[in-house]
Chains A and B, each alone.
Chain A
């Protein structure tokens, strides 16, 4: 049985089609990543699966329970961590945890093992009010509260947004440990680099899945050669690249531009000659391996066309 399965989910807000034709399967003990930009529909999908809103079309089930009919059963077995910090800021760390434990008819002592790893990191601050915690610690507390009733499925909506890089890394290490305990995790993120840490990912844009697969397969699916291009004038370089008819796509990626070329029309040598002709200095063209972000840009480009 899949931990989560959705079949052709659609949701409209007024005229806005927030989701359409969304199907996904999260296997037991898998980390499934929803990767996409802001406004892609990730939160809407979470809210449907967490039984907060009803889908307009399609069916979905969590742990075999239907999101519409058996919503009460789902609420007992899932842990949901919304994108926004949603714990009581005027209660202390320990009070929040105790409160959520009692709401699920359990106690912190009873389920201490399930949160121990994470809780120990914030235990020194257990008498501090949640509102006075740093961003990273808030996330840890929220995760503890979502785990205190030993859920079998975790929904994490952008848990690492606004968290420093070290805490982000720690957070993903924690998720890997949870996975080892057999908890299935559906996590969304706008950070493409986190995609490779998931077992399977879905690239989502404008309410539609572009592709669902393992990160490795998605990268394998990148069907052209990728070049990294640099020169002394990066912004002029980008517009010049886009003017070249042999260039199929060109995006700014940190300190270099990632470029794909049209097969047969152009190669790296032609490109280098073209750029020299436009008086670019220190031109450096290297073949590189694509990452998930390149795949996303390629797929979203196709989607727009």
Chain B
């Protein structure tokens, strides 16, 4: 079998590439150890400036309550709104809470007082979540005050809903647990999908592919010999990832590892096809890199890795349907956190199979055309 020698040669070259051979194994460690900790959507340590125009016991209690929460830092007590705004402009505070002079009076007399929250929305997520947290604290404060001021009203109208939250499959709502499976998907994408494509294009650049083309080696075995080593490396890296995730975060898939391997195989087949398409169209490594950046960035943002697909506008959701990353990402999270089995995941499985067929057919057709 000639392909045995071809694969042997690829491994030899891979091992001899001092950068790639080491990096491919350092990569998962670095990504898994740093990214899940850094890529955290939880907003903490918001800098809050409070303008207390009331200086009453009620307003002080409110400020103390806020300061006691782990979300906010009191950075200052500016005397006016204008000054507080200046603080925001200088990036010393993220949010302003303004308590009007008549706060206590209104609260006692009218049973109704108003405060104003202003948030810096340059970072939309921080602004949005921050004001929501603050509103939550205000609501709690509100409940306490009501009980004190209107004990009868509260006891008589116990109609207020009590909300208790239960986060299924990720009880602590830990973002790390969402990120770890996503990072595994990214790693597999890069190693199995695009490294072989870069390899083929660089052989094109070096002219060695032409030398191979005048030998009796068939195109099919030549391409297969490019893919198989990276499939092997990819699966080894994936296995390392399982270990690293368990070691660092105590995270082990609730579902079966076999399910993950099965889906990874189909996904890898699909992305190898995509990589081959790139290698057919690109004449130089530079072109190939740029195409890959485009594809990866588009797919990542459309896949729901950072922002849930359901948040996207309808047209965005349609586009995300053609990102194979979306399906594999969902599968990984479901298997890891929820413990879904293959039978539960028939739909994404079929979708990934479709991608594998479409991409590889396209690859074959575009290869014929480029001849």
Binding site for B on A (CB under 8 A): 50-52, 72, 75-76, 78, 80, 82, 84-91, 95, 99-100, 102-105, 145
Q: Is B215's CB under 8 angstroms from A100's CB?
A: yes
Chain A interface mostly:
loop
- Check: B211 CB closer than 8 A to any chain A CB: yes
Does B216 lie within 8 Å of A104, measured CB to CB? yes
Among A89, A95, A103, A145, the residue within 8 A (CB) of B217 is: A103
**Residue B206, interface by CB 8 Å:** yes
Q: Judging by beta carbons under 8 Å apart, are B207 and A103 in contact?
A: no
Q: CB distance B2 to A80 under 8 Å? A: no
Which residues of B, 1-56, contact A by the 8 Å Cβ criterion? 2, 5-6, 9, 12-13, 16-17
Query: Which chain B positions have C-beta within 8 A of A105?
Result: 2, 216
Could you pull out 20 A-B pairs where Cβ atoms are within 8 angstroms? A52-B214, A72-B216, A76-B216, A78-B214, A80-B214, A82-B207, A84-B207, A86-B207, A86-B208, A86-B211, A88-B9, A89-B206, A90-B13, A90-B17, A95-B12, A100-B215, A103-B6, A103-B215, A103-B216, A103-B217
Residue of B6, B12, B17 with highest tally of chain A CB at under 10 A: B12
A102–B5 contact, CB under 8 A? yes
Nearest chain B CB to A62's CB is how many angstroms away? 11
Q: Is B69 an interface residue (CB 8 A)?
A: no
B9 in contact with A104 (CB, 8 Å): no
B326 to nearest A CB, angstroms? 37
Q: Do B216 and A75 touch (CB < 8 A)?
A: yes
B140 an interface residue at 8 Å Cβ cutoff? no
**Is residue B344 contacting chain A, with contact meaning CB distance below 8 A?**
no
Residue B89 is within 8 A (CB to CB) of chain A in the complex: no
Residues of A within 8 A of B206 (CB): 86, 89
**Which residues from A are CB-within-8-Å of B212?**
103
**Is B91 among interface residues, defined by CB-CB distance under 8 A?**
no
* B214 with A88: CB separation less than 8 A: no
Q: Interface centre among A85, A90, A100, A105, by most B CB within 10 Å?
A: A90
Q: Determine whether B170 belongs to the interface, using a CB cutoff of 8 Å to chain A.
A: no
Tell whether B105 is near chain A: CB-to-CB under 8 Å.
Answer: no
8 shortest interchain CB distances as A-B pairs: A86-B207, A102-B5, A86-B211, A80-B214, A84-B207, A103-B215, A75-B216, A50-B214
- Apart from A82-B210, A84-B207, A87-B208, list 15 A-B contacts with CB within 8 A: A52-B210, A52-B213, A76-B216, A80-B214, A82-B207, A82-B211, A86-B208, A86-B210, A86-B211, A88-B9, A88-B13, A91-B12, A95-B12, A100-B215, A103-B215
Q: Which chain B residue has the least Cβ–Cβ distance from A149?
A: B215
A88 and B215 within 8 A (CB): no
Tell me which residues from 177 to 224 in chain B have a Cβ below 8 Å from any Cβ of chain A.
206-208, 210-217
A105 to B13, CA, bound (A): 21
Flag if B5 contacts A99 (CB, 8 Å): yes
Selected from A87, A91, A145, the residue in CB contact (under 8 A) with B13 is A91
B211 touches A87 (CB 8 A): yes
Chain B residues whose CB sits within 8 angstroms of the CB of A90 once the complex forms: 13, 16-17
| Cα distance A76–B208 in the bound complex, in angstroms | 18
Chain B residue at minimal CB-CB distance from A74: B214
Q: Find the residue from B9, B17, B213, B214 having the highest chain A CB count within 10 A.
A: B214
* Residues on the B chain within 8 Å of A75, using CB: 214-216
Across-interface contacts of B13 in A (CB, < 8 A): 88, 90-91
With a cutoff of 8 Å between Cβ atoms, the chain A residues found around residue B215 in the complex are 75, 100, 103-104
Q: Which residue of A lies closest to B211 (CB)?
A: A86
Report whether A88 and B2 are in contact in the complex, using a CB–CB cutoff of 8 Å.
no
Q: How far is the CA of A54 from the CA of B16 in the complex (A)?
A: 36
Of the candidates B2, B16, B17, B210, the one whose C-beta lies within 8 Å of that of A103 is B2
User: What's the Cα separation between A75 and B5 when bound, in Å?
Assistant: 18
- B216 — which chain A residues lie within 8 A by C-beta? 72, 75-76, 103-105
Complex: how many Å from CA A100 to CA B214? Answer: 11
Q: How many angstroms between the C-alpha atoms of A60 and B246 in the bound complex?
A: 64
Cβ-closest chain A residue relative to B9: A99
Assembly CA distance A86 to B214 (angstroms): 12
Contacts of B17 in A (CB 8 A): 90
CA A111 to CA B207, docked complex, whole Å = 26
Q: Find chain A residues with CB under 8 A from B217 CB.
A: 103
Which B residues are CB-close (under 8 A) to A102?
2, 5
| CB-CB contacts below 8 Å: B109-137 with A | none
Q: How far is the CA of A99 from the CA of B16 in the complex (A)?
A: 16
Nearest chain B residue, comparing its CB with the CB of A78: B214
Q: A82-B207, A105-B2 are in contact. Are A51 and B214 (CB under 8 A)?
A: yes
Closest to A53 in B: B371
